[in-house]
Amino acid sequence: MCLAIPGKVLEIEDSVQPRMGRASFGGIEKRVCLEWIPDVKLGDYVIVHVGFAISKMDEEEALKTLELFREIDGALEELKIPEPEDHRGAPRPPGGEADAIR
């Protein structure tokens, strides 16, 4: 499943190729590639997938989307759904590829 997140453009680096910048995702700042959106300006909201801004989004929709993510996070917290455990170091089930190598 793919998930793209709206972020507000805080900085644009025109002097590097590909064109890069910084965006805020509800207060968390990340470096993003802006190469695919040549008309992006400071303060614009962009949809970012795996570090690449893939389209612009109007501010109202971006803020609604971020609020929905917060609500989902709160609902998951209320349900007390445990985080997935780190699979490294976990025993492997028999019959897998690792058994074929041994």
Reported pTM: 0.71
* Closest C-alpha to 45, from 30, 33, 60: 60
Domain residue spans of the chain? 5-79
Domain 5-79: assigned CATH number: 2.30.30.140
pLDDT tens-place string over residues 32-74: 999 999 999 999 999 999 999 999 999 999 999 888 988 887 7
Residue 98 confidence (pLDDT): 47
Contact 91, 85 (CB under 8 A): no
Residue 80 confidence (pLDDT): 75
Which residues are 25's β-sheet partners? 28
Question: 3 vs 52, which has greater pLDDT?
Answer: 52
